[in-house]
A = this chain, B = another copy of it.
Amino acid sequence: MKKNNTFSEIRVALAEAENILILPHVKADGDAVGSASALTQILRKDGKNVYAWAAEEPLPSLAVLAHEAYVTEIPEGFTPDLLISVDCADIDRCIDRVQFFPDVKILNLDHHVTNTRFGDLVYVIGNLSSTGQLIYQLFDSLGYKINKKAARSILGAILLDTNRFYYSSTGTRTLEIAAEIIERGVNMAELCEELFGNNPKEKMRLLAMAIERAEYFAEGRGVFCYLPQEVQDQAGTDNTDDIVEALRDIQGVELALLLYDYKGTLRASMRSFGSLDVGKIALKFGGGGHRNAAGITFEKTNVDKVSRELLSTLEALFVRKN
């Protein structure tokens, strides 16, 4: 496995580049949008030509973190001499764009423990709260200026990837960085209001339906909910964000499984606490993720069969743990 490059190697690669293309992962989440936008601004301040090239428009809820140079199409004739992948654990997560520039160097910046360390230059710290934190630390150490707007995007990335400092990836330095960012004038309350105080009515209705449909297993230590297309239609949205977390946050629950129809596929989203490893379960079924947060997409849609198999596997997880 490739070791992290040194600060001076990264400094040289950045100094040599004129035109830089930043690549957040497909289906960019808050960390990817915020990190890519922040990095775009940091490097533009340094005099580079920079775009963040995303696979799709940022989700409406994340638009507040996106810089104007966060685009889905790069200007005609823009030829990068450096690619920076952001928050991509695997090159597959940005290959849709990398493929157009097979000869251009890649700098891989990420915080996933599972990062495959692809690319010509690598700077990955697993278990860090977010790629946002990694970019803040790295570019601060390299002596770059991180202006207020970039700092705001980084704070957003941190807030979303830690669920407002809830997750164990939140370290001392995470909180210190948030303090430093506030210190330079970023209004965290306003940012929280934009990121967390903006739940669409339809999404809240779907959450209410999920709570009412929830079923418990493993003596209440597990909770399961299936949201078929009809229920989503009734709520008026297919936005299932945060629902599985809300289910996990029910008293006594250590593991939550949300199953939902999504554009002809069936998806499973799992969240757990502590040592209950849903990442392993996801791997077993062809999905992926982390120990406490993982997902699977099933092509077939035999819901009964899938849910039976998943539930019995999850039941077994509790038994093994006892």
Identify the A interface with B (CB < 8 A). Answer: 164-168, 170-173, 175-176, 178-180, 182-183, 187-190, 192-193, 196-201, 204-205, 207-209, 211-212, 246, 248-251, 273
**Extra pairs beyond A168-B188, A170-B182, A204-B246 (9, CB < 8 Å):** A165-B165, A166-B196, A168-B190, A172-B182, A176-B179, A193-B273, A197-B249, A205-B212, A208-B211
Q: Min CB distance, A152 to chain B, in Å? A: 15
Nearest B residue to A170 via CB reads: B188
Chain B neighbourhood of A188, CB < 8 A: 165, 168, 170
Inter-chain contact A249/B199, CB cutoff 8 Å: yes
Assembly CA distance A187 to B172 (angstroms): 11
15 contacts between A and B (CB under 8 A): A164-B164, A164-B166, A167-B189, A168-B187, A170-B182, A172-B179, A172-B180, A172-B183, A173-B179, A175-B179, A176-B176, A198-B251, A199-B249, A199-B251, A208-B208
Inter-chain contact B212/A208, CB cutoff 8 Å: yes
Chain B neighbourhood of A199, CB < 8 A: 249-251
Assembly CA distance A208 to B183 (angstroms): 38
Q: Min CB distance, A62 to chain B, in Å? A: 14
Inter-chain contact B164/A273, CB cutoff 8 Å: no
Contact of A175 among B171, B175, B249, B273 (CB under 8 A): B175
Chain B neighbourhood of A165, CB < 8 A: 164-165, 178, 188, 192
Among the interface residues A171, A176, A187, A273, which one has the most CB atoms of the partner chain B within 10 A?
A: A176
